[in-house]
Amino acid sequence: TSSNDLDLDKTLKFSTQTVEQQKQNIQQNGIDLVNKIDGMKNAKAIVALQEFNNNSNSSPSFVKPFSQLKTNLLKNNVNALETFNQQMRTAAAVGDDIWGVWTWNPTKKDFDHVSSTTKTATFLFPATANSTSNTGELKITYVQSDVVVPNTNPVEYMPKSFSAVLKVDGVVALDAEFSGSYKSDATPTNVTQTLVIEKYNWKLQLTNNDKDVSAKYAFNYDSDVLLKYEVGASGSLTAKAIEASNGGTDILTSGAMYFQVMDIAFLGGIKDFKGFADEMNAIQFTDQRSGYDSEVLTINKYLKMYGYFVKENLKFADVQFYVLDNSYSYSWDNQVYTNYSYSVEPRFVLSDGSPVTIENFVKTGFEDLITKLQSYQ
């Protein structure tokens, strides 16, 4: 994996701020994110998509993808674009009668199909609640590939490209673009999806060349990162090798993941999957606990993971795993019995060296963020 965000050799120093100051920064980060997403509610495209959904009693097949897209974007769902792609593919497969120009008829409270076109659908509709004229225009252009979607009946085809442009009063309010290429078994080799709504912009990219596979997602406001993730893996990643593999551990050589919310990021990964898998598979559970202790030692040996402030490039916590003892004793018939139970859990190791469970870390210092999230609808 070549991305700098996934560089597991990168070493960072700890922030010199107190834990309380770091928590305050993390909390403010979350509040800023909610405020930014909250501002999206008033975007012309979001309002117009709501009207498009409200006006579609007969539900032309393209209504559902846009209705779900609006909902997922406002929830900051990282799967919003992927879900949109799948629903657009399904909508495009219903038949030729969906293509053409559709005009909202306020008398009938439904769309009139006024003309037919090939693989292009245009919807003219009121873009605001009180509008009496069709101030919104949503134009969808869709091109299928010749690659069949597995297990579909009737047969569907993977999309080669599609474009969805929403104009309000003649001005572009939303622009969604997609392009994809696939192997014959529908495994994506290169997929790019972009979405722009005013200053909000999203990008999803999937690549797979049989040796390196990666998924990248970015949600920005202008050039500022609001949300970003990247997952990458290297190895022998052909469909045949994956099918013959032992749960994937013998085909992967390395893997990493990166997750960022504004100025807060987490990086984690394993550089030697074979060594990790071999040691994990060799662990013997000689008593109730020893195997768990061995698993934790192995995970912490091979897994590198930490959280940090992006702008300062300073850590606020390492992530390590530990054995949680859930055992308990009980009495029955004048005898005391112990039910042994253990699990492997993650925890933070803070800048002062103290370990703290993630649950305990967020128990204090985040009250304002929790209040903000509870008030956000």
pLDDT at residue number 374? 67
Are the CB atoms for 61 and 74 separated by under 8 Å? no
Nearest alpha carbon to residue 164 among 137, 124, 188: 137
Higher-confidence residue of 332 and 55: namely 332
Q: Tell the burial category of 108 from Cβ atoms under 10 Å away from its Cβ (0-12, 13-18, 19+).
A: exposed
DSSP state of 39: G
pLDDT at residue number 267? 93
> pLDDT tens digits for 94-139?
777 788 899 988 888 888 888 888 789 899 999 988 888 999 999 9
> pLDDT tens digits for 253-280?
788 899 998 999 999 999 988 899 899 9
pLDDT at residue number 238? 54
Are the CB atoms for 321 and 296 separated by under 8 Å? yes
> pLDDT tens digits for 140-163?
999 989 999 888 888 888 899 999
Sign of the Cα pseudo-torsion (74, 67, 128, 130, in order): negative
Residue 243 phi/psi, 5-degree rounding, is -65, -35
CA torsion, ordered 182, 183, 189, 190, to nearest 10 deg? -20
Higher-confidence residue of 108 and 283: namely 283
Q: Within 13 Å, how many C-alpha atoms sit on residue 93's CB side?
A: 18
Please name the residue ranges forming H helices in the chain.
Answer: 19-38, 44-54, 63-74, 80-92, 239-244, 273-281, 290-302, 358-361, 367-375
DSSP state of 18: -
Are the CB atoms for 247 and 235 separated by under 8 Å? no
pLDDT mean over 50-74 = 79
**DSSP states of 83-136:** HHHHHHHHHHTS-GGG-EEEEEETTTTEEEEEE--SSEEEEEE-SSTT--S--E
Residue 76 pLDDT greater than 90, yes or no: no
Distance between CA atoms of residues 217 and 257, nearest Å? 12
Q: Of 148-162, 170-184, 358-372, which gets the smallest average pLDDT?
A: 358-372
Mean pLDDT, all residues of the chain: 86
Q: Of 20-29, 104-113, 263-272, 289-298, which gets the smallest average pLDDT?
A: 104-113
Residue 1 pLDDT greater than 50, yes or no: no
pLDDT mean over 7-25 = 90
Per-residue CA distances from 195 to 89, 128, 142, 214, 355 (Å): 17, 21, 16, 20, 41
- Secondary structure class of 32 (helix, strand, coil): helix
Residue type, 255: G
Are the CB atoms for 52 and 66 separated by under 8 Å? yes
Q: Enumerate residues 6+ apart whose C-beta is below 8 A from 153.
A: none
Are the CB atoms for 102 and 123 separated by under 8 Å? yes
Give percent of the chain with pLDDT exceeding 70: 91
Distance between CA atoms of residues 125 and 103, nearest Å? 6
Are the CB atoms for 232 and 208 separated by under 8 Å? no
pTM of the predicted model as reported, rounded to 2 decimal places: 0.83
Residue type, 123: F
Place of tokens 């850590």: 315
Distance between CA atoms of residues 66 and 84, nearest Å? 7
> pLDDT tens digits for 321-364?
999 999 999 999 889 999 989 999 999 999 889 999 888 887 77
Neighbours of 20 (CB within 10 A): 10
Q: Tell me the CA end-to-end span of the chain in Å, nearest whole number.
A: 38
